Amino acid sequence: MTSNKTILVIGGTGHFGGRICRRLLGEPNTNLVVTSRNVSSAQNFANELGRIAPDYKITAESLDQSSDSFERDLEKIAPDIVVHTAGPYQGQSYRVAEACIATKCHYIDLADGRDFVEGFSQLDNQAKTADVLVVSGASTLPGLSSAVTDHYRDEFQMISSINISIAPAHQTPRGPGTISAVLSYCGKPFDVLENGIQATRYGWQDLRWQHYPELGKRLSGACDVPDLSILPVYLPDIQTVTFHAALEARWEQIALWSMGWLSRFGLIANWSPLVPLFNYISEKLIRLGSDKGGMHIHLSGIGKDGAPKDVKWFLTARNNHGPEIPCTPAIILARKLAQEEIGVRGALPCLGLISLEDFDHEVESFEISWQADS
């Protein structure tokens, strides 16, 4: 029998952190530590969770990753597993992961920052020396996208292209961190692999139409995400990797496309000061759309019989359950680490650590389903 493990969630009262805390509630052989920069917020949420699971040990702590005392505070709590949900990760250092390595506890984040996830393996030797697993990108990308790719990989001799798109529900709360991440690369150039060569795309431009079951046709724009760097290394024969996001409100998509041009023309270099305004507008207009979102992954290549092969995988999330998706890979890993089911050590992106079957099992209580055409 494993001894009790302490799981600490950084940003535990936030948009994703709160969901993760609720879903880890009552996990066998674990204790939960909810953290926030405001200890009152953490305590109020811990009290709420305690009313749901009165026999489960939940504590609240003040923890601020920007504080000079962060490393000492983390060491004092002495968790076994840390789930880092306090984005945006664009521009963050690896301070939290390094503190976890120093404390000799496992680390999982939901990072969607391309540079952050791509460079994460620089911590590999430190993590192996400390005998811990530290994982970045345990979220939709590349956690779920690589799990889908792995699920169908054996049906191909070679996968030559992967085209990924996400279509969030308009009613999904976004939060300042999500909006900040969205705006961080608006109009900014980034490299993508297309037909074997590096091409330049710009954030929220390169508009394309994408059709989703139940959602219909949506306009999508290019986004800078970890998969654009990670998957070409994971799949050496790949020739094309693209990613687009399709907002439900077409006027929002066009607005971001227009904002991208303002950045490209040099009129507005940084949209981050407007995050509070966009967050306010988002909250006021949240009811103008539906509660359904989706995801699409299109794999193309050569099948086992030598003929061209395509797999089109579609996920649909209903009843505003879409935000549970990016939380799920981190939850799966936290559960596995708590039950000592993962022996891997080191620092790596979330590739090959969870399966599509793991994902299915974890979301079976939500209105989330997928289908594949091949």
Residue 360 scores a pLDDT above 50: yes
* Distance between CA atoms of residues 325 and 367, nearest Å: 11
* Distance between CA atoms of residues 323 and 293, nearest Å: 9
Give the β-pairing of 216-222 and 208-212: antiparallel
For 141-317, which CATH superfamily applies? Dihydrodipicolinate Reductase; domain 2 (3.30.360.10)
Residue 8 scores a pLDDT above 50: yes
* Distance between CA atoms of residues 237 and 215, nearest Å: 32
Residue 268 scores a pLDDT above 90: no
Among 171, 165, 166, 342, CA closest to 241: 165
Work out the mean pLDDT of the chain and round it to a whole number: 93
Scanning the structure block, which residue is given the tokens 């620092």?
Answer: 347
Query: For the chain, which residues make up each domain, given as ranges?
Result: 5-139+326-356, 141-317
* Cβ-contact 74, 66 below 8 angstroms: no
Residue 74 scores a pLDDT above 90: yes
Span 268-276, average pLDDT: 83
Among 219, 222, 293, CA closest to 254: 219
Structure tokens at 29: 């052989």
* Distance between CA atoms of residues 74 and 57, nearest Å: 18
Write the CB contacts of 252 (distance below 8 Å, at least 6 apart in sequence).
none
* Distance between CA atoms of residues 348 and 236, nearest Å: 17
* pTM score over 0.75: yes
Span 18-37, average pLDDT: 96
Summarised one tens digit per residue, pLDDT across range 108-159 is 999 999 999 999 999 999 999 999 999 999 999 999 999 999 999 999 999 9
Question: In this structure, what are the phi and psi dihedrals at residue 60, rounded to the nearest 5 degrees?
Answer: -120, 140
* Distance between CA atoms of residues 340 and 203, nearest Å: 40
Least confident of 68-77, 115-124, 129-138, 261-270: 261-270
Confidence grade of residue 1 (pLDDT, cut at 50, 70, 90): very low
What pLDDT, on the 0 to 100 scale, is given for residue 2? Answer: 57
Summarised one tens digit per residue, pLDDT across range 278-328 is 877 777 777 777 899 999 999 999 999 999 999 999 999 999 999 999 999
What pLDDT, on the 0 to 100 scale, is given for residue 78? Answer: 96
Span 79-100, average pLDDT: 94
Q: Which residue did the predictor score with more confidence, 298 or 89?
A: 298
Question: Which CATH class for the 5-139+326-356 domain?
Answer: alpha beta
